[in-house]
Structure 1
């Protein structure tokens, strides 16, 4: 896990191809799945250039008297199905509380991706995957958003949309492609790379 101090833009942590544990918490950020949203991004997909990957980003951004918080991760598993599938695993709104998140002193943070954020995550990831050449880089396989945490106060649909876009960006970025990311996530990726 890499910890980033973004100054006035907040704090972030990025996990890449490592266990998804928060500091001082022995449980991963996986959660029980109660429903799924599934979208086929690409039919007749060939083998891509991206190997199995796991990325999770957590960010806390102060905005004057309020703040934004989100934690989101995805796992990419290549396969020979001939399709690129995007899957969002949905939790309940009452999963276990995280006491070691970046926002724990400001918000009640719970593990999971709720129905409220699932469509935004699907759209943010789809937007990134539909950029020129990105889906072909992934090729045949499944991108599963099944790691996450949300704040009861600081999370929003728009923030999870942008966070999903950024997670896919981190998965493909080491392949030499660079895209514009909205603030505050652009500062996260600038410091990370």
Structure 2
């Protein structure tokens, strides 16, 4: 896990290809699946250049008297199906509480991606995947968003949209990108 101090714009942690667990809590930030949204991004996908990869980003952004919080992770598993498929797993709103998140002292943070945030995660991930060449880098396989956490106060649909985009960005490591997201996550990607 890499911790980033974003100065006045917050704090972030990024996990890549390691256990997706918060410090002091050795249970993975994984949740029971209530339902899934599945979308084919690309038919006739060829073999890409990326092997199995797991990424999770957690970020806390102070905004004066309020803040933004989100944690989102995905796994990309290449396969020979000839399709690039995007899956977002939906959790219930009553999953276990996390006490070691960046926002634990400010918010009640629960494991999972609830129905409220699923369209935003899907849209953000799709936006990145539809940028020229990105789907070709991944190739045939499955991207599964099945790790994450939300704050009862600090999370928002717009923030989870940007997190969906940023997680795909880290998976493909497209450093030459223009980062079509707002400054707090843009700064995370630039520092990672």
Same fold (TM over 0.5): yes
Question: Hey, what's the Cα distance between the residues in 1 that align with 2:191 and 2:168?
Answer: 17
- Normalising by the residue count of structure 1, what TM-score does the alignment of the two structures yield? 0.97
Question: Hey, what's the Cα distance between the residues in 1 that align with 2:177 and 2:129?
Answer: 13
Q: Which residue of 2 aligns with 1:136?
A: 136
Q: CA deviation at 1:4?
A: 0.5
Q: How does 1:86-125 map to 2 (within 5 A)?
A: 86-125=86-125
Deviations 1:107-134 (A, max 9, x none): 0000000000001000000000000010
Question: Hey, what's the Cα distance between the residues in 2 that align with 1:87 and 1:177?
Answer: 26
Q: CA deviation at 1:177?
A: 3.7
Q: CA deviation at 1:179?
A: 2.8
Q: Runs of at least 4 residues of structure 1 off by over 3 A? A: none
Deviations 1:118-162 (A, max 9, x none): 010000000000000101111100000000000000000000000
> Paired residues, what number?
191
Q: CA deviation at 1:19?
A: 0.4
Question: Hey, what's the Cα distance between the residues in 2 that align with 1:135 and 1:7?
Answer: 33
Q: Which residue of 1 aligns with 2:31?
A: 31
Deviations 1:59-82 (A, max 9, x none): 000011100000000000000000
Residue ranges of structure 1 left out of the alignment (5+ in a row)? none
Q: Which residue of 2 aligns with 1:20?
A: 20
After superposition, the CA RMSD in angstroms is: 0.9
Question: Hey, what's the Cα distance between the residues in 1 that align with 2:68 and 2:131?
Answer: 26
Q: Which residue of 1 aligns with 2:68?
A: 68
Q: How does 1:163-182 map to 2 (within 5 A)?
A: 163-173=163-173, 177-180=176-179, 181-182=181-182
Q: CA deviation at 1:187?
A: 1.0
Question: Hey, what's the Cα distance between the residues in 2 that align with 1:49 and 1:176?
Answer: 16
- Relative to structure 1, is the Cα distance of residues 185 and 176 closer, same or farther in structure 2, using a 3 angstrom cutoff? closer
Question: Hey, what's the Cα distance between the residues in 2 that align with 1:17 and 1:155?
Answer: 25
Question: Hey, what's the Cα distance between the residues in 1 that align with 2:177 and 2:171?
Answer: 11
Deviations 1:35-71 (A, max 9, x none): 0000000001100111110000000000111000000
Residue ranges of structure 2 left out of the alignment (5+ in a row)? none
